[in-house]
Structure 1
């Protein structure tokens, strides 16, 4: 066990080093640099001032030198200072990351609550109208881009019906839930949670389609196994067979895909955060790219990669909880 954990941690460190090296190299290929952007907004800056500023920022160093310097700072928890805002990058990440994480969690919860029953139901009702409706939902979810669904929901639920806000963020819904319990006022939770509904649905729609079909396929395969037939012959109730025996064994591939989806959501909510003016790390990355804020770009990619790796390690651990037969090679 210790050897397996050490091996996985070693590979994780290698991946992080590779991510830092690639990002350090790619951002230098973008035309212009942060000094050019700053000079455009400050006509009084001379060429000599620009060179001094490049030297101070370390932009004149080679890629290997910048990589080693950045790596040494990152190990100490220093991800640099934002060129545009002049504050530590870690401060910006910690301010924006909770909004992205909570939005991703709500999207995963929503997708799981809908996809698992839908996948089980379509498997049990194979070939019926229920199965056909599930297939339609799956095709629609995979075919429709998230940003298009987001715009359509804004036009309908925000502009036409005025039920939900079109954009914005009013703090953590989870924190508001605890406060609502203490104050015994559901409005406290609703005032924060309603800002999560449209962006969470936009992110969850594709996940619902994919996961429902995955669960359906896994359930159909499990239901044909001999131990399911044996349990039915023993007189085990159908509900127990479906939930305890079939679904439990069908969840293993679902856990894998959900882990990957959660990692993708944490690092890839750029479009949805832009559409809904969501103050997450995706929007932070877009703003940093516009002004060539290299430290912020590198930090966002590094944090996203780290979260992705951690989630995959957690998924590996869940394998043993769901199916004790699974053993690491």
Structure 2
């Protein structure tokens, strides 16, 4: 089985998973006590007003009818109409998704850039002061909630020192005229980096700590393999052993954790965006929950589930690139 056929098979296998996500989210959303029509209309709506809103959004139909209609709409790319914003759900997701994707991407770049060298050095200098420091940093990182890290960063760097802004997020591609104090594209990039730094550190610390521990453990296991001992016996330098023999083979567990941590990062994005007042997917899903916006809640959850499924598939496909021993042949 070639790579293309394997990819197609994995994509087909993802369809039942996404249907399951839609089904569970639909049932849980409709199990929430309360009436979204009454929430939309305020504290004292009349029965006629409630009935009109329910008829407009199809809330007066039986549950199974709404479920089947929603499945058909999802298959056609229609996620329905937001009850709270009164606009298509797809429109709100497209407005907020770039913000969350920028936050997630930057946090993973930070996590990878710090954890890989830290884990390698920690394994290379096992039981030395550098190793102890790296292990303590990783332990603190995985033990500390991202929202608490965000609050501490705001208190220190925004309120006490006044170095960085504490709220909002500026996208790098925003026009300079829409950014206060910016006249050129470079000014926009600088402001975007200043606004992004604190939430990136808040969200990426947990990922960095988890990847550091996995990288260290995987490197230690690889450095104890027989082929590494043989290379040392032939007089190969430690730098060459790390770079050519050990490092690449040690990355499979790291890739696995990296793909699975996407779900953790998506959950952390909800808290991070709330702490830093960022208008992304996290705050959008909170708005949907608080206002019982069924369509918006199901749409955002589906996007999060789709992102996780795609991340797992990309992780699987990257195995063959990192380790030539992994293939997608007919007998695998």
TM-score normalised by structure 1 residue count: 0.92
1:20-169 → structure 2 map (5 Å cutoff): 20-41=22-43, 43=44, 45-169=45-169
The answer to whether 1:13 aligns with 2:2 is: no
Q: Distance in 1 between matches of 2:94 and 2:112?
A: 27
Q: Distance in 1 between matches of 2:187 and 2:244?
A: 38
Q: Distance in 2 between matches of 1:263 and 1:151?
A: 22
Name whichever of 67-76 and 54-63 sits farther off.
Answer: 54-63
Aligned Cα root-mean-square deviation (Å) = 2.0
Deviation of residue 49 (structure 1)? 2.6
Q: Distance in 2 between matches of 1:10 and 1:85?
A: 33
Q: Distance in 2 between matches of 1:139 and 1:307?
A: 28
1:230-279, CA deviations, whole angstroms, 9 ceiling, x for partnerless residues?
22233333212102211101111101111122343245411110000111
Consecutive unaligned residues of structure 1, counting only runs of 5 or more, are 177-182
Q: Secondary structure at the match of 1:127?
A: coil
Deviation of residue 129 (structure 1)? 1.1
The answer to whether 1:314 aligns with 2:314 is: yes
Name whichever of 167-176 and 69-78 sits farther off.
Answer: 167-176
**Residues 76 and 223 of structure 1, relative CA distance in 2, 3 Å threshold:** same
Do the aligned partners of 2:319 and 2:326 also contact (CA within 8 Å) in 1?
A: yes
Deviation of residue 190 (structure 1)? 1.3
Q: Secondary structure at the match of 1:84?
A: coil
The answer to whether 1:271 aligns with 2:245 is: no
Deviation of residue 326 (structure 1)? 1.7
Deviation of residue 203 (structure 1)? 0.9
Q: Distance in 1 between matches of 2:50 and 2:227?
A: 73
For residue 4 of structure 1, what is the aligned residue in structure 2? 6
For residue 179 of structure 1, what is the aligned residue in structure 2? none
Q: Secondary structure at the match of 1:48?
A: helix
Q: Secondary structure at the match of 1:260?
A: helix
The answer to whether 1:252 aligns with 2:252 is: yes
For residue 180 of structure 1, what is the aligned residue in structure 2? none
Q: Which runs of 4+ in 1 moved over 6 A?
A: 173-176
1:294-325, CA deviations, whole angstroms, 9 ceiling, x for partnerless residues?
11100000111111111111111100000021
Q: Distance in 2 between matches of 1:298 and 1:60?
A: 18
Deviation of residue 52 (structure 1)? 3.0
Deviation of residue 46 (structure 1)? 1.8
**Residues 18 and 142 of structure 1, relative CA distance in 2, 3 Å threshold:** same
Q: Distance in 2 between matches of 1:279 and 1:49?
A: 31
Consecutive unaligned residues of structure 2, counting only runs of 5 or more, are 177-182
Deviation of residue 66 (structure 1)? 1.4
For residue 237 of structure 1, what is the aligned residue in structure 2? 237
1:157-201, CA deviations, whole angstroms, 9 ceiling, x for partnerless residues?
00011110011112237999xxxxxx9975442111111100110
Name whichever of 216-225 and 240-249 sits farther off.
Answer: 240-249
Higher RCO (CA < 8 A, seq sep 6+): 2
Do the aligned partners of 2:93 and 2:281 also contact (CA within 8 Å) in 1?
A: yes
Q: Distance in 1 between matches of 2:28 and 2:49?
A: 26
Do the aligned partners of 1:263 and 1:311 also contact (CA within 8 Å) in 2?
A: no
**Residues 93 and 118 of structure 1, relative CA distance in 2, 3 Å threshold:** same
Q: Distance in 2 between matches of 1:248 and 1:141?
A: 25
